[in-house]
Amino acid sequence: MEKRSFGGTGVAVPVLGQGTWQMEDDDRASAIRALRAGLDLGLTHVDTAELYGRGKVEEHIVSEAIAGRRDEVFLVSKVMPSNATYAGTLAACERSLKGLRTDRLDCYLLHWPGPHPLEETVRAFEKLVKDGKIRSWGVSNFDVDDLEEALALAGPGRIACNQVLYHLEERSIEHGVIPWCEKHGVAVVGYSPFGNGSFPEPDSPGGKVLGAIARAHKATPYQVALQFLVRRPSLFAIPKASREAHVRDNAAAASVKLSADELARLDAAFPLGDEPEGLPVI
C-alpha cells in the first residue's frame, strides 16, 4: 500500500484507509474481521469519532479490531463540536482513549465548526499534544474561511489534515479547499468516497466511462474511483467496509494506475461544477 506524508506531521500514512461511520449498524463480527483484514492489507489508517456508534459501540468495535496491533495503526478520532470547549475537548479525548483502549491517538480532529470559540479547541489540542495524548491534530468539514481562522490561531505546520466529503459526483473541495490545503501543507482526507449510497449507475454517462476504464484495468469501477480521488499527493481516502470481500476490493485499488488520458476522461465525465455557497457535508 502506497504511503504519503500526512500533512506536516512527517508520518507516512497509507493513501487508502478505513472509515467506520455507521459500522455499528452492520454485523459486529463481520465488521471486526473486515477491519483486521484491512490492517493485513496495509489499510492501517483507521478513522472513528465520538459521534459514531450510539453509546460508544463503534469505538469498541475499533478497539477490538486493533487489539494487539495498536502500533501498526494510524488511529484518528474526532471531538463533537458541542463538546469542543477547552475542558470539554480534554474530557472527550480521555473518553475516546478509554473507549478505544489506547493511550494515544495519532490524530484528533474537530468534527465540524461549532458553537464554541475555535481558540479553546486549538488550545486543548496543543495541550493534548504536549501531554502525549495525541500526536497531531486537524479538522473536519472546514471550508477555506474556517481553515484561515485555524491557521491564524495555531500558526503554520500545526493543522495535520482536513477531512471532507469527496467523491466523483461531489468535487466541490477542488475549488478552494484542496488548493488551500496544498499551499499550507495540510493533508486532505476524503470521506464517503463512494457517495454514501449514490455511486454512479453503470448505465449513466459517467458510469459508462468509469466502467470502460475499469474493464481496461481488469478492475472494478469502485477501484477506479478510489484511484481518481487520491490522484494528487495531498489526497487520502477512507472508504468504509464491513465485509472482508469489500475491504479486499478497496485495497486492490492500490494496484490500479490511471494514465493522464484516463484521468482526463474521468474529469470530463464527472465535471467539477460551480463553486457552491457552502461546503457540502453529510
Positions marked active-site: 52
48 in Cβ contact with 143 (< 8 Å): no
Residue 166 grid coordinates: 469527496
- Map residue 3 onto helix, strand or coil: strand
d(CA 163, CA 237): 9
Supply 245's cell numbers: 470481500
Bridge partners, 108 (sequence order):
77, 137
> 61 phi and psi, to 5 degrees?
-60, -45
Quote the distance between the C-alpha of residue 175 and its chain's center.
19
Angle between the N-to-C axes of helices 205-216 and 221-229, in degrees from 0 to 180, rounded to the nearest 10: 100
CA 195 from centroid of its chain's CA atoms: 13
